[in-house]
Amino acid sequence: MSLGPCEIFEVGPRDGLQNEAREIPVSEKVALVDKLSGAGFVRIECASFVSPKWVPQMAGSGEVLAGIDRREGVRYAALTPNMRGYEDALAAGADEVAIFASASEGFSRKNINATIAESIERFAPILEDARHRDMPVRGYISCVVECPYDGAVAPASVASLADKLFAMGCYEISLGDTIGAGTPDSIARMLLAVRDAVPVGRLAGHYHDTNGRAMANIDTSLSLGVRVFDAAVGGLGGCPYAPGAKGNVATEAVNAHLLALGYETGIDQAVVEEAADLARSMR
């Protein structure tokens, strides 16, 4: 018996590749996105308009968006840290954009050189302009359980930030266990707090598998009503500003797990496995 739909938001071409040591040519990034486009994803994050000085692997994001074979029914997303990045994403033809904030002050300063309050101010003009264009904006929250600089993060802090981003116009809030420190108990406590601020249907889980607990955290999230999960094909990536973050949960493993539980993902496992092989060959 089917348990209903679950969506995997594929972040491999962005979050997966940004931490790789080898400089990856645009042509290889395009090939990976094109392979993923045929797997059945509704949303694929494949670009990041951050300064190449800070995240060199994301150089050429505009060329990636120009070079991919766009499939009907697939939205191609780009990460935008500020108004300049947002404008570049618009010019490149991104179908949706994402902004990213942190639930901890230490990580916020390290990651975007701003306090949490300053980051919210920075995102306000993006959300205002996007509203007039009907451009979907997704909100990422990093360090929803623990921060590599500040330690444990209070669930109330995550809920407060999620509430602000949702009120500003983010259509979905992705909750990131950035260093993979989350356990089923800590993820549950965090989600119970956030669910009081943002409808659970507008939440997504973004769980790194650094400590081998991502699948258990997904199961806990399913039990609390979450039905969208971020994953990176081939298990690539991490965050260059979070020591120990390497290890996004692998899309092919998440898809197989959800299918085995009885959820419908719409993802072709065989095509995802091919994409995973391609992604791993790019290391």
Three-state SS for 164? helix
113/191: higher pLDDT: 191
Exposed / middle / buried, residue 259 (Cβ in 10 Å: 0-12, 13-18, 19+):
middle
Checking if the pLDDT of 229 tops 80, the result is yes
Question: Helix or strand or coil: residue 6?
Answer: coil
At residue 108 the predicted structure's pLDDT band, cuts being 50, 70 and 90, is confident
- The predicted pLDDT at position 141 comes to 97
- Residue in this structure with the two tokens 């230490």, named with its chain if needed: 106
pLDDT surpassing 70 at residue 266: yes
* Sign of the Cα pseudo-torsion (227, 228, 231, 233, in order): positive
| Mean of pLDDT values over 83-87 | 95
pLDDT at 51 over 80: no
Task: Give how far Cα 177 sits from Cα of 22, 180, 196, 249, Å.
Answer: 25, 5, 19, 11
Proportion of the chain above pLDDT 90, given as a percent: 79
32 or 19: which leads in pLDDT: 32
Digit-coded pLDDT (tens) for 125-153: 999 999 999 999 999 999 999 999 999 99
Domain of residue 192 covers 4-281
Residue % of the chain over a pLDDT of 70:
93
Tell me if 48 sits within 8 A of 55, measured CB to CB: yes
d(CA 156, CA 196): 10
Pairwise CA distance, residues 102 & 178, whole Å: 10
Active-site entry in 6, 46, 170, 239:
239
DSSP 58-80: GTTHHHHHHHS-PPTT-EEEEE-
pLDDT at res. 80? 95
Q: Whole-prediction pTM value?
A: 0.94
228-231 vs 151-152, strand pairing mode: unpaired
State the pLDDT at residue 242.
52
Count Cβ atoms below 10 Å from residue 232 Cβ, excluding itself: 28
Is 112's pLDDT higher than 80?
no
CB atoms within 10 A of CB 205: 28
Is 170 an annotated catalytic residue?
no
Q: What is the pLDDT of residue 151?
A: 94
Quote the number of domains for the chain: 1
The whole-number pLDDT of residue 239 equals 53
Q: Evaluate if residue 53 carries a pLDDT over 90.
A: no
Structure tokens of 117?
């309050």
Beta strand residue intervals within 202-247, DSSP E: 203-207, 228-231
Q: What is the mean pLDDT of residues 164-179?
A: 96
DSSP character at residue 24: P
Compute the average pLDDT of residues 197-219: 96
Predicted confidence band at 59 (pLDDT cuts at 50, 70, 90)? confident
- Residue 55 sits in a domain of what CATH number? 3.20.20.70
Q: What is the pLDDT at residue 14?
A: 87
The secondary element (H helix, E strand) that includes residue 139 is strand 137-142
* pLDDT greater than 80 at residue 196: yes
Q: What's the first-to-final CA gap in the chain, in angstroms?
A: 39
Radius of gyration of the chain (CA): 17
Say whether pLDDT at 241 is over 70: no
Q: Taking residues 33-37, what's their average pLDDT?
A: 97
Provide the mean pLDDT of the chain: 92
- Measured CA to CA, the distance from residue 1 to residue 189 in angstroms comes to 30
Helix H or strand E segment including 281:
helix 269-281
Which of these, 190, 276, 203, 206, lies nearest to 238 by C-alpha position? Answer: 206
Residues 62 and 144: their CA atoms lie apart, in Å, by: 30
Token output for 264: 């419908």
- In this predicted structure, what is the pLDDT of residue 74? 98
Model confidence at 238, in pLDDT bands (50, 70, 90)? low
Average pLDDT for 109-124: 87
pLDDT for residue 71: 97
